Amino acid sequence: MRWSIGTLCLSGLLVWAGWQPNAALDTLQWTTIDGTTVRLSDLQDANAVVFITLSSRCPAVPRYAPRLNTLYETFRKQGVAFYGIYPEADETAESAREHAQRLGLKFPIVHRGAVEIARYVGATHVPQAFVLNRKGEVVYAGAIDSVIKREVGQHQYLRDAIRATLAGKPVEPSRTTVVGCFLTLPERSETPALPQVTFAEHIAPILYAKCTTCHHPGDIGPFPLQSYNDAKRWAKEIKYYTEKRLMPPWKPTPGFAKFKNEFYLTDEEIALIARWVDSGTPAGDLSKAPKPPTFNKGWYYGEPDLIVEMQEAYELDGTGGDEYRYFVIPVELPENKVIVGIDIQPGNREVVHHANMFVDISGRARQLDAEDPRPGYSNFGGTGFIPLMMLGGWVPGMRPIMLDDNFAAVLPRKFDLVMQIHYFKRGKREKDRTKVGLYLADRTEQTKPVQLVVIGNRDINIPPGEKNYRVHARWVTPSDRPVYALSIMAHMHLIARGTEVVAKTPDGRTIPLLQITDYDFNWQQAYFYEKPIELPPGTVVECVGWYDNSSDNPNNPSNPPRLVRFGEGTYDEMFYIFLAIHDPKAKSSYLIPASL
């Protein structure tokens, strides 16, 4: 990539003369960095399509970010599809994601498929704009505007091109000179054969690290992935579910915040799996394949200091919908001890989908348990009480929680551990008696108690048919001292589609805390940050959740859709963000309500 100082020779742009736009409508496709796969033919209902070439290395790009965001916000409401593409030869998915987030770009970003788009439209520079009409014809190619070093340009080329396209008028000028960076695309290989992708060399390391933890006998995965024969048998399913990013079930947007034990697949890993399947699932030299992991049914960190379990086994019917059950376990800690780790051991991994742990000192959970004739109690939308704390949870493949750096849950000696378990039915009656191992430490002057901030909003009234209903909530950190974010969890119900949480500091920084764009009620878990995140005094934690109460939402339990309000029932909704923090002034662990 070279910096272009003078004017651009227009010959490179005249490749359009013999262009056949409709030939690629059904074949050109790309995947955004949030995992959405799009074909050009999918956008024929859009009033216009805009592509912007971008690069993490081009110094001309950052100054355009605010203007591009403004154009996107203006025209997306008018049916314009807008994509930023990163096609440079040395660009990676990670560098594109980090660059787009650093610039605060609001429109969808593409790395996988960006090269094909760039070649399709004949891109030569960065940043360079392209406008396609509803027929897929490129009606404008060139500069975004005439701003070079002035704050205000005389010509708003891209804006005017979009306006003309929406009005069905010819775009004038249809080609303009770009001042920016020359675009360097990967060279087209004359040797057609890509290196062969084999199970032994490429696929086994991926499956054993990201999939086998759940896909082995006795665990939640519906089939094993412990050998070449396993993978070959299920190859089509593996390709389908990984390309759709349905598996592995990692919900946070990669790169938005950094968490411990992230197990999502990268774009490169997904592409390798697809190539392997499409080439006939070659085995390679199986003697060189890594050994499949083994799974210890014991305690991950060794014998816990205290083991508690459900007071009796719970028998689960084999048919019907999934069940959400709460079990109350009395706990008495030794004198002067704090909790630094928790290991949840499902009694029956074939039916335990996930579990979450809450602390109750009010006695309300015991009341609800006593009122239900079966072990535990049922309560779909929430615990039924205000928890003192949340002690994390378990989902298949998740490592047990062990706090470090002297962080600990500092609780009363006696409390009720309330275990929420989501049961997945297998077609026959099953029993479960889950147990919990607690790792303890002495309480010292260095102990850092963990608190739980509950940020929420009960003002929820979602009209039937509303596709993008937004709920906002916020929490302001103490004004006289910093606090430290340790983990985060989102809780909504069935029609929720996504959430985003950011922290805005008094000095103008925005710290990403969590983003989920394909929220699934059945895959809720707490995510622990790779390192504690300092939130300066007076930081505003802003949260938003969005909901789709239309018939297009496959998770909508109502058909036709009905008015949805706040509540704990199946047809109700909630919006809560659980943020575990450490407040240096706190002497114990407790809940901080920050609900509207």
Quick check: helix, strand or coil at residue 333?
Answer: coil
Residues 6+ apart with CB under 8 A from 464: 549, 550, 558, 560, 561, 562, 563
State yes or no: pLDDT of 191 exceeds 90.
Answer: no
- What is the mean pLDDT of the segment spanning 174-197? 77
Residue 246 pLDDT grade (very low, low, confident, very high; cuts 50, 70, 90): confident
Q: Is the pLDDT of residue 524 over 90?
A: no
**Rounded to 5 degrees, what are φ and ψ at 3?**
-75, 125
Could you give the CA distance from residue 99 to residue 90 in angstroms, rounded to a whole number? 14
- Angle (CA) 413-415-417 rounded to 5° is 130
pLDDT tens, position by position, 438-475: 999 999 999 999 999 999 999 999 999 999 999 999 99
pLDDT value for 181: 83
> In the CATH scheme, what is the code of domain 306-445?
2.60.120
**Does residue 22 have a pLDDT over 50?**
no
pLDDT, greater one: 213 or 168: 168
Task: Tell me which fold the domain 451-595 belongs to.
Answer: Jelly Rolls (2.60.120)
pLDDT band at 570 (very low <50, low <70, confident <90, very high): low
Mean pLDDT of the chain: 88
Average pLDDT over residues 70-77: 95
> For position 24, what pLDDT does the model report?
54
Domain boundaries, the chain: 10-182, 199-288, 306-445, 451-595
pTM listed for this prediction: 0.62
Give the residue-averaged pLDDT of 383-397: 81
Q: Given this model, what pLDDT does residue 515 score? A: 97
CA distances from 185 to 89, 90, 92, 144, 455 (A): 5, 8, 13, 21, 46
Q: Are 383 and 358 in contact (CB under 8 A)?
A: yes
Residue 557 pLDDT exceeds 90: no
Indicate if 451-595 has the same CATH topology as 306-445. Answer: yes
Evaluate if residue 1 carries a pLDDT over 50. no
| Whole-number Å distance between alpha carbons of 159 and 82 | 12
Question: Distance of CA 245 to CAs 84, 174, 271, 279, Å?
Answer: 21, 38, 12, 21
Q: Would you state the CATH architecture of domain 10-182?
A: 3-Layer(aba) Sandwich (3.40)
- Predicted local confidence at residue 3, as pLDDT: 38
**Which of the residue ranges 27-31, 278-282, 311-315, 336-340 would you say has the lowest mean pLDDT?**
27-31
Q: Whole-angstrom Cα distance, residue 212 to residue 293? A: 8
Contact by Cβ (8 Å): 13, 176? no
| Residue pLDDT, tens place only, 276-302 | 999 999 999 999 999 999 876 778 888
Percent of the chain at pLDDT above 70? 92
Residue 330, classed as helix, strand or coil, is strand
